[in-house]
């Protein structure tokens, strides 16, 4: 989708600016985490509404969002000055879909620009960030920004909404506890004349939680229904406990503790680029771990609802049957398919039909030829799964994945 713009993007960077970027990229790269930390600190001081109502406070505490910005800017700049580097389609598409799901608009790019360049000068020093250096990096920023702005305008248009106007008022119709810490919610529009839209299998919505301190924090949750028709949407939430490396999930815990049947929720229309190709007849392989099953269940729901004749291979890894939130539903959906394989791997428990106790190693699978692979899970899981598929001679272009973190493109590093 972006690859057609690669020459256009490089053509927008003058040869002189290109040489400056080549010369300063190592210095910027070495300091970019300090730059982005100061950038966010400054921006949130000037625009506190952004950290309250747009940015993920949990990711900010972990530094995950800073790493994401660092990766995107450095990767894009490297692409502009390296003719052998591919345009980072995956990175740009993921950013664009995330932006529109949050209601980001064109004017907010100026806010980011002003605070980012303030931070660059403060960290590197005015003697380093000369006029030529500032102009070169300013050019890189706006080339990337314009590419994203145009892409996001197209996403808004495709969703039939005005830029930024993505949120809908909904009511919880059903609440079902799938495990001790995973709950499935089914919602519908409060305005019966404006039903929630259909969606592509694998997409997500943003859900806004009104927290006790008044913040309206947003989080994305994959849709687990088939998405064929407008009306109801279903998504699953796993309550996240605090760990040594991460705080407790503010929104997930609020939803699990407070959202009941009849509760009003503000949600976005669906977005997301990890979607099942419904036009293809090629075999499908769905690989997931833990709560990463949610987008795979959305895809499986669509395949099941149309009684697909495609060869479908479903592979899931979990701790045990008690933590596998979609165990029963997965089997039910698969049973409607004409040609499927189901493989579940648990770390503990008893083996049984379709269930193996042990470690999932996709390098040992005999997958159908010319299959399309869809993956979702933790960083460690995805890294191992992708290496296993590579060892299994699966073409990287056939592998599509999503990580529930803002910097999943770093898996390509």
For residue 407, which phi and psi values (nearest 5 degrees)? -125, 40
Annotated active-site residue in 40, 109, 156, 374: 109
Residue 345, token pair as written in the block: 């791997």
Residues 377/290, Cβ–Cβ less than 8 Å: yes
Residue 195, token pair as written in the block: 């039903």
Residues whose CB falls within 8 Å of the CB of residue 158, separated by 6 or more in sequence, listed in order: none
Residues whose CB falls within 8 Å of the CB of residue 171, separated by 6 or more in sequence, listed in order: 187, 188, 189, 190, 262, 263, 264, 265
Active-site annotation holds for 152? yes
Q: Within its chain, how far is the Cα of 73 from the centroid?
A: 18
Active-site annotation holds for 174? no
Residues whose CB falls within 8 Å of the CB of residue 199, separated by 6 or more in sequence, listed in order: 223, 227, 233, 270
Beta-carbon count within 10 A of 61 CB: 11
Annotated active-site residue in 152, 188, 341, 384: 152
Active-site residues, by number, are 109, 152
């Amino acid at each position: 989708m972006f690859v057609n713009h690669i020459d256009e993007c490089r053509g927008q960077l003058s040869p002189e600016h290109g040489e400056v970027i080549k010369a300063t990229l190592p210095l910027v790269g070495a300091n970019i985490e300090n730059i982005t930390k100061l950038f966010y600190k400054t921006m949130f001081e000037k625009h506190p509404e952004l950290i309250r109502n747009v940015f993920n406070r949990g990711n900010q505490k972990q530094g995950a969002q800073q790493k994401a910005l660092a990766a995107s800017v450095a990767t894009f700049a490297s692409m502009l000055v390296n003719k052998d580097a591919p345009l980072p389609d995956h990175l740009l598409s993921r950013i664009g879909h995330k932006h529109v799901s949050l209601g980001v608009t064109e004017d907010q790019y100026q806010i980011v620009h002003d605070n980012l360049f303030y931070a660059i000068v403060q960290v590197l020093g005015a003697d380093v960030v000369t006029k030529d250096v500032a102009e070169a990096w300013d050019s890189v920023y706006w080339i990337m920004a314009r590419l994203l702005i145009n892409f996001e305008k197209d996403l808004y248009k495709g969703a039939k909404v005005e830029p930024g106007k993505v949120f809908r008022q909904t009511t919880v119709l059903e609440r079902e506890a799938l495990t001790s810490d995973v709950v499935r919610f089914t919602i519908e529009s409060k305005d019966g004349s404006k039903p929630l839209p259909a969606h592509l299998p694998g997409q997500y919505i943003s859900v806004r939680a009104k927290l006790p301190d008044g913040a309206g924090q947003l989080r994305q949750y994959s849709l687990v229904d088939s998405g064929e028709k407008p009306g109801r949407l279903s998504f699953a939430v796993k309550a996240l406990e605090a760990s040594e490396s991460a705080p407790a999930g503010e929104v997930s815990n609020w939803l699990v503790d407070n959202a009941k049947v009849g509760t009003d929720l503000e949600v976005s229309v669906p977005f997301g680029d990890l979607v099942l190709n419904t036009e293809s007849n090629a075999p499908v392989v769905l690989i997931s771990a833990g709560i990463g099953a949610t987008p795979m269940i959305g895809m499986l729901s669509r395949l099941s609802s149309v009684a697909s004749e495609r060869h479908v291979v479903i592979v899931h890894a979990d701790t045990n049957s008690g933590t596998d939130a979609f165990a029963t539903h997965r089997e039910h959906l698969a049973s409607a398919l004409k040609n499927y394989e189901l493989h579940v791997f648990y770390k503990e428990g008893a083996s049984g039909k379709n269930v193996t106790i042990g470690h999932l190693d996709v390098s040992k699978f005999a997958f159908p030829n010319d299959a399309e692979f869809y993956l979702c899970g933790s960083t460690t899981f995805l890294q191992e799964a992708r290496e296993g598929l590579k060892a299994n001679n699966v073409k990287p272009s056939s592998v599509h994945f999503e990580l529930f973190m803002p910097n999943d493109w770093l898996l390509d590093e």
